[in-house]
Every structure is written in C-alpha cells, then in structure tokens.
Amino acid sequence: SSVAIAIHGGAGTLSPDDMTDAQRAEYISTLQTAVTEGYKVLLAGEPGEAAVIRAIQIMEMSPLFNAGIGAVYTFDGEHELDASIMNGRELNAGAVSGVKTIKSPIMAAYRVMTESPHVMLSAEGAEAFARQQALEMVDNTLFNTQRRYEALQKAKARMQSETSAVEWRQGNERFG
Amino acid sequence: TVGAVVLDKQGNLVAGTSTGGMTAKRFGRIGDSPIIGAGTYADNTSCAVSATGHGEYFIRYHVASDICARMKYAKMSLHDAANTVIHDVLLPAGGTGGVIAIDAGGNVAMPFNTSGMYRASIDKHGNVSIGIYK
C-alpha cells in the first residue's frame, strides 16, 4: 500500500517577526530532514514505529524544538520529559512521563510498549526501566539551551507579578 | 512538543509525541503528550493523531481519540473530524494548539487554532509540504 507521513514541531503564537530569515531557514531545514528521513524508513517497508521514532529523534536532538535537547525548563531549572507512541493495529501503546536522564524519551516509550506489560511508566520508575533496557542515559544538563533558560526567567518574573495562581495564565509557554 | 504520524506499507497507522512540557512547570505537572487518547492516539480503523498545545485542554477533551472516534462512529472524514475538534470544540473552550493526523487512505490533516504550527508532511503521492505560520 502507499505510505504517508506528517510531523509537527509545536504550535503557538508564532509571528514572522519572532524569527530571522536564518532561523526560519533552520526550522524549515530540520523539519525537511525529519519528514524525509521518516518517509525513507516507510519506503523501505519498515514498520511505522521505526519511521515515527526516526522522525521524532531528529527533532529530539535538535535545540529548536521543545523535546529532548531544547526542552523547556521546569520551575526548578531542570527538564522533565514526556513521550508516547501508539500502534493502530492492535491498539498497543507505550509512554513515559517526567523523565530526566533518558536521552531519547520516544525510544523509552517504544520499549514500554514492546518490552513491558504496561502502557505508562513515570519518573524514577521509568528511568529504572530505561536502564534495564540499556537505553542511553545522560545528564539532565544535556537538554539545556540559553534560549529556553531565558524563557524560564521571563515566565518566573510574570508568575511573581501575578496576584493569584488562578489568574496566572502562562504566555506562549503554555503550549507543548 | 514534537510529533509524527505515519501510514506504513503494511497499512498500519502509528502516532508518536515527545515533549519538554510547559515552561516553569511545577509539582510534577504532566500535559497531554504522554497521555494516550489525549496527545497521542492510533487506530487502524480510523486515524493516527499527535497533538501540541495547551495540554490541560487536550487531556480534558481527549482530543486525539475524539478525532478518531468521530471518524469511526460519526463517519466523518479525517479533515472534518480534525477541524471540528480543533476549531469548534477546543477553541470555544479556550484550548489552543493543533494536531497532525493521518488516515488509512494516507490522507493528512494538520489543523491548528493558533497563529502558527511547525509542520511538514509527505502524502501518499510523495508531495512534500512544510509550514510554520497560518
């Protein structure tokens, strides 16, 4: 049968003024690489999971997107990552949430789906499972970027100026 | 947040999503990305969906599985199901963001109710499309 792929790198209040032509070209180039590499995997007849992982890992390793390297910071100045994957054949699924030292969260989610009886593992438990699966573990600082660190400072400044938690509605940061 | 949805040569639909979550999040806050049915869903009888946006709304409105359910039970097209949920259900409720979705026929829908979404696709005819803004 024919194959097809779609990818996203996040949504939000994006304005052409927010980025230079060079930055825009970088986004376009990375999206092009991710969608093309995933498509090649499909053309080779490999299972859809391999294509999804290939495309997402390219974006996890890019500092441009809020996933893996380039992830936003938590209030405490760390990175807590989440990921999930689902196959439409037997509705099988895997997910990890709140992980800090797994280099590729989408790969961890895939292993939860294929190597465990569970659908979702979280935090330290998910990390212990990833180590048992011999997935690559890294220091949380691997995911640091200056741009996201500055975004954290701005968000914290706004949080302090808001009068109540209810009114504190995040700006663009609320988008995944 | 990043995501991918595919139709493979065996006719299977697969969806995946990965995220750093929300800036300045506290107290172990989790958004929709790892929640099956909210930020990620796939069913060969309808579609595969990956979402990005204000996670709390995507969880409460179980966006990814709602799109697939509208195809499965209401016999809506992929385009209509995805656009209805993003523009007519989520936006009036205050939920902002978008989805990428694909069906068993290799059709692709990428609706979003914000001013931009980083997105790319290669359809069943091999046509490439890449976009950032509306």
| pLDDT score at A176 | 46
| pLDDT score at A160 | 81
Tokens read off for B120? 């790319």
CB pairs under 8 A between A and B: 333
Q: Tell me if chain A has a CB within 8 Å of the CB of B21.
A: yes
Encode pLDDT of B78-121 as tens digits: 999 999 999 999 999 999 999 999 999 999 999 999 999 999 99
Q: Give, for all 176 residues of chain A, the pLDDT tens digit.
A: 599 999 999 998 778 788 899 999 999 999 999 999 999 999 999 999 999 999 999 999 999 999 999 999 999 999 999 999 999 999 999 999 999 999 999 999 999 999 999 999 999 999 999 999 999 999 999 999 999 999 999 999 988 876 555 555 555 555 54
User: CA of B115 to nearest chain A CA: how many angstroms apart?
Assistant: 5
Residue B40 annotated in active site: no
From A1, A35, A152, residue closest to B24, measured CB to CB: A152
Kindly indicate whether the ipTM for this predicted assembly is greater than 0.90, answering yes or no: yes
- Determine, for residues A8 and B3 on separate chains, whether the beta-carbon distance falls below 8 Å: yes
- Determine, for residues A46 and B112 on separate chains, whether the beta-carbon distance falls below 8 Å: no
Q: How far is it, in rounded angstroms, from Cα A112 to Cα A132?
A: 11
| pLDDT score at B39 | 98
Confidence band for B73, pLDDT divided at 50, 70 and 90: very high
Q: Are strands A92-99 and A120-122 parallel, antiparallel or unpaired?
A: parallel
Q: How far is it, in rounded angstroms, from Cα B48 to Cα B81?
A: 12
Q: Tell me if chain A has a CB within 8 Å of the CB of B127.
A: no
Q: Which residues, listed in sequence order, are joined to residue A65 by a DSSP beta bridge?
A: none
Residue A33 CB neighbour total at 10 angstroms: 15
pLDDT at B72 exceeding the cut of 50 = yes
Question: Buried (b) or exposed (e) across B40-78, using 16+ Cβ within 10 A?
Answer: bbbbbebbbbbbbbbbbbbbebbbbbbbbbbbeeeebeb
User: CA of B112 to nearest chain A CA: how many angstroms apart?
Assistant: 7
Encode pLDDT of B3-31 as tens digits: 999 999 999 999 999 999 999 999 999 99
Helix axes A105-115, A123-132, angle to 10 degrees: 80
Mutate to test the interface with A, among B14, B17, B18 (most CBs of A within 10 A): B18
Encode pLDDT of B35-54 as tens digits: 999 999 999 999 999 999 99
* Residue B85 per-residue DSSP state: I
